[in-house]
Amino acid sequence: MSEESTAVVDTAEATEVVKAPKSPAKLEEEGDIAADYLEALLDIADLDGDIDIDVENGRASLAIVGGKLSHLVGKEGEVLDSIQELTRLAVQTATGDRSRLMLDIDNFRANRRKELTALAKEKAEEATTTGNSIKLAPMNAFERKIIHDTIQDLGLSSESDGEDPRRYVVIYPA
């Protein structure tokens, strides 16, 4: 099972178990397992594509590039999200640990990150100029995180509100 260390943290609200970050070797192992799974999936579907493995922000990161892969992304990334979840389950089955790996196909997430960063900057400017909070359209967790990180880097604050799948970000003026 897991070789991760855990710590028990008492807060005013509750006691929770916090896992220590995975070692780079564990993350590389996750990446290798995920790559093997994805290669088999591409072979079954008779699709071409190269798999790049990396470790970013404390998680394994994989990208399938080359070939005609846009149908593996789907409308607004739904197919990509499903393949990512299946890949995480394959890694969990092999290691016994929950995986937070990120998968990108056909540069969808990389391009989406650029779009969302630009949107966050634009809406941060609007919030600062008008003095009003700005409510964005519903987004998935990956997209909300990009918005929150960008807003924080700009010195403003934001929070998520609502329930999935209609969860959205609200940006507050300084």
Residues 87 and 59 in one domain: yes
Q: Is the pLDDT of residue 63 over 70?
A: yes
Residue type at 33 in one-letter notation? I
Asked if residue 3 is part of any domain, the answer here is no
What region does 105 belong to: left with phi over 0, alpha with psi -120 to 50, or beta?
Answer: beta
Enter the pTM of the model. Answer: 0.80
**What confidence tens digit (pLDDT) does each residue in 12-31 have?**
455 455 567 899 999 999 99
Question: What's the average model confidence in pLDDT over 31-59?
Answer: 95
Establish if 6 belongs to a structural domain. no
Asked, for residue 74, whether it belongs to a domain, the answer is: yes
Q: What residues make up the domain containing 128? A: 111-172
23 & 95 share domain: yes
53: CATH: 3.30.300.20
Mean of per-residue pLDDT scores for the chain: 90
